[in-house]
Each structure stands twice: as structure tokens, then as C-alpha cells.
Structure 1
């Protein structure tokens, strides 16, 4: 019974952490079923995302520091979208005033929502990292994973080599989190795979409601290829590494301030 209660509490905290992604999915579904007047669908989605972001900061659900991280992810995701759409990996077939080179600006919020989830869950579950790899190993690995999304169009795809390197670098790393006063731990590599898998499920829902369209979905919707899990896994790793590195840097800076003899 205690385990069941802990699971319910954990699920509730996860649901609160997923508030931004849930709003995006709900907006995709609603605007697909009920066309909104005056503006194209993509523009309405951008307006909804902007208002949601402002409300989360105004209400205190997100801090100013978290907003900075989310904005950075929005820009990183938008850059990736511009390139991938240009290369024909997927497309946004509907009309919109807020489209740049075929990419609607709301798409960056889908990447930002992943960062929002990570920041929210980190704070709500009091996440701590055990045996986190050194800075010199983490930053180049994250950069290599992100660059491979671009380079593999012109060179070989090294995603599986990078996945193996992630397992090596984080083999001894654990993430600990607190659920209703009790702390638990999980191998960090396992948490990457779980988040990547659930994002793949979310991707199927998003494409079903027309968030974007893969070439094999032009005539009719079909399940996103299971191989995309590896892509989302690597993208989650990049997201997690950026958030974790910023948390580590901020934690060290806070320690320096707290221990300063001049305060």
C-alpha cells in the first residue's frame, strides 16, 4: 500500500512537471478538431505557447533561471528545425504567418517543453547527481551529439557510437530523487532511455494531431519508426547534460557566495 501511495505521489509530481508539454499537446488536439478563426493554426499555437510561458513565470511555476534555460533550448531546437526541414527530414505543411523558411516558430517551444519538464522535475523531486562525470567529458559529448544531428546528412551517422560512449561515460553515474520524503535512486543511463521512450510516444501523438509530418506520413498517418527512439534518446541526453551542467555551475557559485568571508 505504501508503494502504491508513493507511485501515485510520484505520478502527480511528474504530471505537474509536464504541465507545459500537456498544454502543447492539448492545443494541438483542440486546434486540429476545432479550427480557430482569424489566424492560421500554427500562429494560434505560437500565441498559446507564449501565453503559457508568461503565465508559468508570472505564477511562480517557473523561475527566472529556468526561463533562461528554456529560452536557450527554444533557440537550439529552432536551429535544428530549420536545418532538418531544409534537408527534408520532416515538414510543416500548413500555412502560417509565423513560419520562417518553412518552420513555424511554435516548434521551438516543443524543445523548450522538454527543458521545462527537466527543470520542473529537478526542483520538485529534489534531484541530485551521484558520480557525475567531469566537465571536460560532459561538454564535448553533448556538443558531439548535437552536431551529429547536422553532420550525418553529409557524413556517416555516428549516433550508435555516441550512445555507446554515453554508456561508458555515465556507467557509474546515478540520479537520486525524493518522493514524499523518501529518497530513491536510478542509473542515469536508464533514466535517459525511459525519458527518450516516452518522448517517442509523445511524438506519435504530436504527429497524429499534425504538429509536423514525416515523409512517410504524407498520405496518411502512420506510427513513427521505432528507430527514432535513439534520436530522442540522444536529444534527451543533450538536454539533460545542459541542465545538469548549469545546475552544477550554479551550485558551485552559490557555495562560493555562501562561504564568502565578506558576507
Structure 2
């Protein structure tokens, strides 16, 4: 449980009807870094002036949601921006290969995230683990021809440029940051050991599907059954909302799929069907990214074990446990 320091309650006219005022007041979260706390204070100074109800209240919640999501995506956004910029402006035939520039840029972004206190050392453990898990899969997938990278550059392991692991790390960075920025809580979360077993089967299938039957659809069904009853609670600004966690998985998977289209358009890597000319990544990849969410969530729970909402939290928001 994070330590919180309650601030003075909002004016009566800014309280949300039907919501316990003990829950509505803003709290200083021990989960924020000092930089995040500074920006959180700044946003509150601006948005606290708006009423809590009506269009103005909904606008405040929307702005806070977008800002938090953007902040959680900063690693992935910067990495994707570098990949796209290298495609547009990095000269062909330069002494330093583009892949090596991407790797050095990714390292610089990661160091900058820590130095600027945009990411905690605790979160860095998960990011590194994502990097390792992703690189191992990259080595296998490129070896069997599932996708390929430009062969130029020396900062690589086999056919895999080292920047590729940072793309998985970007997913890990988003997952751990969104967990604390939105103070995620869960009701009816599945038994942890079952989630670990499912994640292990999903990861194994990424390899074994090339030698035996591909059971991704079976695993997808198992994931929906296992996580289906679970509801994710997330604090936006003044309000706490609920969403089935499988819907959250699908939304994040869709976002990653869009990012993958940008990356392949920038020729960071290419699928076999794109070698003769770029075309959008197959929508069937959405299933793969959805299943990756299962692995991702299990890795994140290593740092942030799933927490249940407080009882007054549920009562105040009118959400059933």
C-alpha cells in the first residue's frame, strides 16, 4: 500500500455528488518520482479550478487521463520518434550504421529516464527483464525467418540488433509506469500461480508453434476465461473508474500494433510479406500482442503485486467488488 498524505478536501461545490468526499480529495502519492510530483502539482493547480461535474468536470478527467497516458508512454514515444527520424534523415552509407545509431539512442533514452527521474530503479528491474525476454525471442524468430533486420551494424547479437530489446523494454516501461500513475487496483484478480502458468505457456508457444500445433487461439480463450472476471480500477483525476482487464489488454495490444506499423514503415524490421514493399502489419498480430500482455502483466507483478481496492474506494465509486 502506498503511503499517502491527504490534502484539504475540495470546496463543497467541487465535490462529486454521491461520492464519499473522503475519497475525492487529492493525495500525495509516494509512488510518484520528484519530477512527477512537480508536474502533478502543476496540473492540479490548473485543473482544480474546474468544477467536478458537468462538461468541465469531464474535460478535467479527460485531460488528466491523456497526460498520464502520455507520461507513461514517454520511453516508447521517444524510441519510436528516433526510429522514424532515422528513416527520414539518417544518411545512407554513413560510417555508423543506422542500427547502431538506434541502439546508442535507446541506451541514451534509458539512461536519461533514470537520471531525469522519469523512471525508478525499481521499475528498471522490470524493464531489463522485458529486454532479456524479448531479445531471446528475437534471436529465435529472426533465425527461423519470422521477421528480419538490416544486416548492417556491429551492436548486435547474431542477426538481432541490440536496439530490438529496447522495444520490449518500452512496453515494460509503459506497464510499470501506468500501474503507479493510475494507482491500479483489481477485483477478482486470478490466482497468481495460474497467471504464471498461462504466461509460461504463452511464451513457450511463441517458440513451439513452429514445430508443433500453434495453440494461440486456445491460449487466447484461456486468457479470456482466466482474466474475464477481473476488473481494473484506475484513478484518473477526481474519479476512479473501472474497466474489465481483458478490455485493457485489447486496447494496449491495438496501440502496440499501430506502433509496430510505424516501426516497420520506418524499416526498423520487416516481415517477409513486407520485403517487396511495405504494407500494413497483419491484423492477426493483434492476437500475439494480446498474449504478450499476459506475459507483461506477470512480469510487472514481480515489482507491483496486484492490490485490491479499499472498501471505501468501492463504496464511494459505486463499483461492486
Scaled by the length of structure 2, the TM-score of the pair is 0.76
Deviation string, structure 1 residues 51-81 (Cα, Å, up to 9, x no partner): 1111111111111110011001000000000
In the alignment, what sits opposite 2:177? 120
Taking only aligned residues, the RMSD between alpha carbons, in angstroms, comes to 1.3
Following TM superposition, by how much is the alpha carbon of 1:236 offset from its aligned partner in structure 2, in angstroms?
1.7
Following TM superposition, by how much is the alpha carbon of 1:5 offset from its aligned partner in structure 2, in angstroms?
2.5
Alignment of 1:11-30 (within 5 A): 11-30=66-85
Q: Which secondary structure does the structure 1 equivalent of 2:212 belong to?
A: coil
Instruction: Verify: 1:136 aligned to 2:225, yes or no.
Output: no
Following TM superposition, by how much is the alpha carbon of 1:93 offset from its aligned partner in structure 2, in angstroms?
2.2
Unpaired runs of 5+ residues, structure 2, are 1-54, 308-321
In the alignment, what sits opposite 1:171? 228
Following TM superposition, by how much is the alpha carbon of 1:245 offset from its aligned partner in structure 2, in angstroms?
4.5
Following TM superposition, by how much is the alpha carbon of 1:94 offset from its aligned partner in structure 2, in angstroms?
4.1
In the alignment, what sits opposite 1:33? 88
Instruction: Verify: 1:82 aligned to 2:108, yes or no.
Output: no
In the alignment, what sits opposite 1:70? 127
Alignment of 1:1-263 (within 5 A): 1=55, 2-35=57-90, 37-248=94-305
Count of residues in correspondence between the two structures: 250
Q: Which secondary structure does the structure 2 equivalent of 1:247 belong to?
A: coil
Distance 1:135 1:246 in 2: 13
Scaled by the length of structure 1, the TM-score of the pair is 0.92
Q: Which secondary structure does the structure 1 equivalent of 2:276 belong to?
A: coil
Larger radius of gyration: 2
Distance 1:14 1:38 in 2: 38
Runs (4 or more) in structure 1 with deviation over 2 Å come to none
Unpaired runs of 5+ residues, structure 1, are 252-263
Distance 2:63 2:268 in 1: 30
Following TM superposition, by how much is the alpha carbon of 1:241 offset from its aligned partner in structure 2, in angstroms?
2.2
Q: Is the 8 A contact 2:231 2:242 kept in 1?
A: yes
In the alignment, what sits opposite 2:17? none
Distance 2:172 2:110 in 1: 12
Identify the structure with the greater helix proportion.
1
